[in-house]
Amino acid sequence: MKSEDLLRFQGNDVLQKLNLMYQDFRDDPKTVESFVDDPTDFIAKRVLLESQPNIIPQAVSRSNKFLFSVLSNERFREWVREYQDELNERFKDPINNNKSLGDILPREEVIKKFVEAMYEHGDKDILYNFVANIDISDKTESEAVVTHDVAVVTAIAVALIVVVTAIDITPRTSHILSNTMLSANDLRSLSEAMIKRVESLKGPDA
């Protein structure tokens, strides 16, 4: 195969440029906001470092925006730490020695708590816009997301299969559990599933 036919997009010092950009993100949160609002120019100048007269407009996906809003929130991070500690304590408790994983840690509970926390500490505007058409007359918004439509919970359950399966086949140690619960990939999947399903509930014309 000729080198030009290879499926490669070879850059120069790609990681260095990315790391420099992320350093700016860390130092100045407003830089992140301007990136998220309009990443095209930012990427062209800072990462690709090329003149791009016909650069294709680029976007940051809604799930990434939502995940960013969640992760930027210290209260959510604190909630994750507390929830992990709670789960670790539960696993260590001798009273649970002979119980099955499903009894100690029902998947529905993990899903519900994560969704509630992501809702509670994420960008409410993003999520509220999605759920606006769902009947939430006798529920809080987060309850609506969690309980009002089975599809949402089912989708997130799918995303969390990775988490629960991983716990299933590993020893019950706090180390494994904490790694499992905070896997970057798992949270990403959770965020994506959540946004996608809630979008689909709204329908194309909503």
Partner 1 sequence: MLHKNYYMLGHVQRTLSIMLTYQCTAQCQYCGTFSSPNDKNKIDLQTAISAIDQAKELDFGNIVFTGGEATIEWESLVSSIKYAKSKGFPVRLVTNAHWASSDDQANAKIMELKAAGLDEINYSTGNQHIKFIPLSNIYRAISASLSNRLTTVLIIELHKNSLVSKDKVQFEIDRLIDSDLIKRYFKIIESPWMPTNPDKVGEYPSGLLKNKSNIDSCTGCDSVLQTYVLQGDGRISSCCGLGMRMIPELQDSSATREVFLEESIKSSTNDWFKLALKYIGPEKILAWAAEKNKNIVWEDMYAHRCQSCIRIYKDREVRSTIKEHFRELVADLCFSIYLDEKLALISANR
**Interaction site with partner 1 (CB under 8 A):** 1, 6-16, 18-19, 21-22, 25, 32, 35-36, 39-40, 42-43, 47-48, 55-56, 58-61, 64, 67-68, 71, 77, 80-81, 84, 155, 158-159, 161-162, 169-171, 178-179, 182-189, 192-193, 196
Q: Which two tokens stand for residue 20?
A: 């420099």
Smallest distance from partner 1 to CB 61, Å: 5
Q: Identify which of residues 13 and 135 has a Cβ nearer to partner 1 in the complex.
A: 13
Smallest distance from partner 1 to CB 47, Å: 6
Handedness of CA 2, 14, 188, 63 (dihedral sign): negative
Report how far residue 44's alpha carbon sits from residue 28's, in angstroms, rounded to the nearest whole number. Answer: 19
Q: Identify which of residues 65 and 112 has a Cβ nearer to partner 1 in the complex.
A: 65
Question: According to DSSP H, which parts of 13-73 are helical?
Answer: 14-27, 29-37, 39-43, 62-71
Q: Identify which of residues 48 and 206 has a Cβ nearer to partner 1 in the complex.
A: 48
Report how far residue 200's alpha carbon sits from residue 206's, in angstroms, rounded to the nearest whole number. Answer: 10
Residue 70 identity: V
Q: Identify which of residues 76 and 140 has a Cβ nearer to partner 1 in the complex.
A: 76
Smallest distance from partner 1 to CB 126, Å: 15
Smallest distance from partner 1 to CB 134, Å: 20
Instruction: Name, in order, each residue with C-beta under 8 angstroms of 170's C-beta and a sequence gap of 6 or more.
Output: 176, 180
Q: Identify which of residues 171 and 204 has a Cβ nearer to partner 1 in the complex.
A: 171
Q: Which two tokens stand for residue 97?
A: 């020695």
Instruction: Name, in order, each residue with C-beta under 8 angstroms of 135's C-beta and a sequence gap of 6 or more.
Output: 144, 148
Smallest distance from partner 1 to CB 138, Å: 29
